[in-house]
Structure formats: C-alpha cells, structure tokens
A and B are shown apart, each in its own frame.
Chain A
C-alpha cells in the first residue's frame, strides 16, 4: 500500500480530529465535498459538525479561527489555494500573529495553504507565500517536502500553541508516495540534512528539495558531492543546521521556488554571510523564480522556476569559483 503526500495531510487531519475534541476544520468546500483537492475527504461524515463549509470569505475565515482559538479551540483553516490567502492576510498577520505578544494568551490555529506551481496553474493558483508570513513576528511557517513530514509536521502544527502557516506543495500532492505513514518524527522546527555531501551545501525547502536532490545526483558524475539541507520549517529558521553544513562544505547555494526579492533563501544567505563568513570559500549564491507573475504555459513555467537543471548549473558556478 502506498501513501501520497495528500493522503498524509488527510490522515493527519483525521488523526487530529480523532484525538483532540477541540480540533475542527473550516474552509471552502471542505465538508461533504471533501475539499478542492480532497484533503478532507470523508472527514465531515466521520466527524459531524467539525468539518465545516465556509462562505468565500478568506478574511472572515481566518478571523473566525482567531476567535475560536482564543476560546480554546484548535481550528485548521483550509485555503483553497495559497494565493487566496492574501485576502485573509490582515486577520493572520495583524490578529492571529499579534495575539500572544499583546495579550499573553496563545492563538493556536493552523492555516493550510495549498502552495506552489503546477503546470497550467498560472499567476493566481501557483504562489508560494512563505516569505510574506515569515516576515511578520508571531507565526510559525512550515514547508514540508516529504510524505512523512506532511504527516508528522501537520500533527505537530495542530498541537503547537502558536499560529502555524502550513505550506503544502500541490505538485507533491499526488505524485509523491511513501510505503506507510511514519511512527516517529524529527521535530518540526529542525532542518535536516537529506543528502550528505562534502563540496557544497544546497539549502532549500518544499518541492525544491526534490529538484535539489536530482541536481545533486547529476553532479555525482562530475565528481561533486552536494549536501542538501531541507529547512522543513522556514520560520523559525534553524540556522545551526545550516551553519554546520556550510562548515563542512565551505560553499552555499540557497534555493527557493518563490520570488527573488527577500524571502527564505535571502534570509539563509544573509545569516550565513553574517554569522558564517569565515566558513565560506566562495560567495554564497541564491536561486529563485524569475521576478514576474507565474506564467500559465508549461514552456514558460518550466523556465520561470528553479529546476534540477538550473540548480545544477548554479551549483557548478559556486563549485568552480
């Protein structure tokens, strides 16, 4: 039996609903329909009154979750697409994120964002929002790359006392498979070396982890050993794991699927430059999507985002400096 990344998200929610009576799910079409991507399939039937269809009101959906969390519940809000969460940004950034600091009371809620590009999705169904949410204090931002992490990190997110933005990658939903759901897990706030190497560190997260691993395999033939670090959670950033890897390799490439201005990859480079300058044998490098809206046509989309080929090319530049 195989489990997809999407199955893992569904199963994690099922387990959270079963084990904690304060958990409930709120989102557009999540009820009997089971969600646009079927991440809540059959959950409304199994947990009556706890998997609730919302109006198309992203601002009010998040605002509702803030209130429910203040009242002791643990809401999971599903955005139909990460892109639409811009409409609910105010409630997330100014309300959920400020509650603990302002009042000393926690606001435990999870905002699930079906994120990232897929062929043909275009400018408004492809976005990666982690940079925006990470910029604001008071939010944990998770970006799982594997079936195992999708499951265990979502469960951990639901149990956390803070608001969590859970960026799940749509490209991984159906294609990424594992044999079974994990029984144990690496803590969600820790980065992980997913491929050991000695020549260069490639720090990335979410779907780009798989592109980076593919690039690393390509470079083996050229005699290079690339270490791939999966951030798993981008806020808070596990700088220790990154610096430890750079200490081993002396070189850094930070890769993100999101846009180049600021963001997680910029933060990684900034921290390594500031705190690990003496560890570096070459200037640290970044690779991101192009600085345009995300294109519709697969030809354009494939050129817009980082891929294994482009990551391999960038790694060669860092290696040959």
Chain B
C-alpha cells in the first residue's frame, strides 16, 4: 500500500513537472518566434523606436512566469518576453506596444518593453533600472495591509541593474519588511557593452544575498529544467513566508542590447562556453533525446501560427490620433491648468 502510494506520488510529481515544462517550453518557443518576428518588423521599418529582445534568456525568464500564479504580481524588465507570455500577457499586447496600437494597454503613449497591464498583475516598467524593485515591494506591502495573503511578487533585473542605488534601496527595503518578493537577476555578462569586470567586483552577484539578509540561489540560465526548479523553489519559499529571494542566473544574451546593436563586443570565448548555450536549443535536443521531439515540433507549429495570427490582427488595429488624444497628465488638475495655458 505504502509502495503504491509512493509510486503514485512520484508519478504525480513527474506529471506536475511535465506540465510545468510544457508551459515553459511553449512560453520559450512563443517568445523566441514572436521576437524573431519583431526583429523582422523592425528591419522592415514597421516599428518606430527600439526593439529589445530576450534571445538566450527565455528559460530563466519563462521559468519565473511559470512559477507564478494568477493573483501574483510580475514586474518584468526588457528581456522578459518569455516570462510575460508564461504569466499570461497576450501576444497581441506585446505587438500592440511595438506597433503603437490604440487598443493596447499603453494606447501608443508608451511603447516596446515599457508595457504592462495592472489588471493582469503586470507592472509597466520605467526605463530607470532597479526602480521596479521598490515599486513591487510597495504593491506587496499594500497587499499585506489589505490582508491579501500568499501573493508573490517577482521582478527581473540584469547584472547592470544591480549597480544602481535603486536596486539596493529596493531590495534592502523588501528585506526589512520581509516581503514575498523574488528578484531574478539575469547575469548575461554584459550591461549593453560593459562586461561584468567593469560592473561589479564581487565574485558572484548571488553573494550579495547574504549582505541583504535574503536567501540567494544560483542557477544555470541555459538549462530550462534547472531554471524551472529553482524559480519554483524561490517562489514557493517567498509564498511560504521566508522573505525575499535573490535568484542569479548565468547566461548570455544571444543578440545585441537592442536590434540596432550587433553585439560584436561579446567575447567569443564566452559564446563558445557553456554559458553561451542557447536554452531553446538545449530544450529541443533534450526533448528529442527523451523521445518527445514530435511534441516539441507541435508546440513550435502552434506558436508560429499564433505569431502570424497576432501580427495580422494587430496590424489592422487603429493607431493613436493626436486630435482625439486626451492630453491631460493628471486627472484632477487638467481643467484648472487648461484655463491658464496658452
């Protein structure tokens, strides 16, 4: 009896893992294919402004999105398409931001990665790195004051963002308040073109966890299985009341800082190392090795079809009209101001 129960438990864990890996694998593929399309749209001149991709970071980012539940809060940074899609941001909203659709959550007032939807629990990032850490801490403090229990906040940063005062102040504040916050640092070796050795002097960014009095976790950001396990563990610990969790994933950005950047400054030795592996390829070959190659192919086909349909749909949507725009930056003061401005 005991043996049978144990076997059932193992099977249930295995099934749970499989379901999680399917969600992650699909999110990674959807992000990769959508971003390849964004790159084409950019090169075709259909996107105004910058395009910032998360190529090579899909496993770490997506694992964060998969680990969260509905009702949690996600504050992504610029390379988190996979995490956004895994958490439930519609592919159309990403395209709406890039193409300036009036129907998107930002209505053409803000673009590209500066998008979010508070009704879905996704905070729209500002460009200033580290700023979302304290903001997310504020959301979590509010939830605590309102008596909402077991809600987790997860935010992402890069190695460069850890150098900001904002990052430090935010993580310290969250640690003091012992908030259910997970901070995922994608250490991709470069902040734009600046390598790690010009960014920080500690041996590993995860070492800082101890200084903040939070739990730290290292993860190989190129291995989807390890990412899923570590991120789920960190989110569960935060949810269980163990305070903020700092997850540092080592990986390499497999593209430029933005699509305007060829990234030629990246050391070819790192590109050839384990850190330079492409997590999507890692997952694909592992799936094939496990006899699930067909499953992977079907996920890919579905993702491709979703991208094509979303591009067609959003391309037909209206763009903002300056004559119909409400040019009020405040809700209360606009009328009084209007009477005085010329």
Contact = CB atoms under 8 A, between A and B. Distances in A.
Contact of B135 (A66, A161, A236): A66
A58 to B, nearest CB: 8
B169 A240 contact: no
Interface string B259-300: 000000000000000000000000000000000000000000
Nearest to B143: A71
B10 interface: no
* Chain B contact patch, size range: 35 or more
A95 B124 CA distance: 10
A207 B124 CA distance: 39
Interface string A56-86: 0111111111111111110100000000000
Q: Tell which of B107, B139, B173, B332 has the most Cβ of chain A within 10 Å.
A: B332
A236 B340 contact: yes
Contacts of B165: 59
Contact of A60 (B142, B143, B166, B330): B166
A293 interface: no
Contact of A71 (B106, B128, B131, B139): B139
Interface stretch (B80-88, B109-117, B183-191, B193-201): B109-117
Contact of A55 (B127, B172, B332): B172
Contacts of A161: 330-332
B173 A90 contact: no
A5 to B, nearest CB: 24
A63 B116 contact: no
Contacts of A160: 332
B318 interface: no
B134 A103 contact: no
Contacts of B211: none
A90 B137 contact: no
Contact of B138 (A59, A65, A239): A65
A28 B292 CA distance: 57
B340 A238 contact: yes
A212 B337 CA distance: 25
Given A60-B166, A240-B339, 6 more contacts: A55-B176, A70-B118, A75-B138, A94-B126, A139-B330, A236-B334
Interface of A: 24, 49-50, 54-55, 57-73, 75, 90-91, 94-95, 97-98, 100-106, 137-140, 160-162, 189-190, 235-240, 271, 274-275
Interface of B: 105-107, 109-110, 114, 116, 118, 123-124, 126-128, 131, 133-143, 145-146, 165-166, 169-170, 172-173, 176, 329-334, 336-337, 339-342
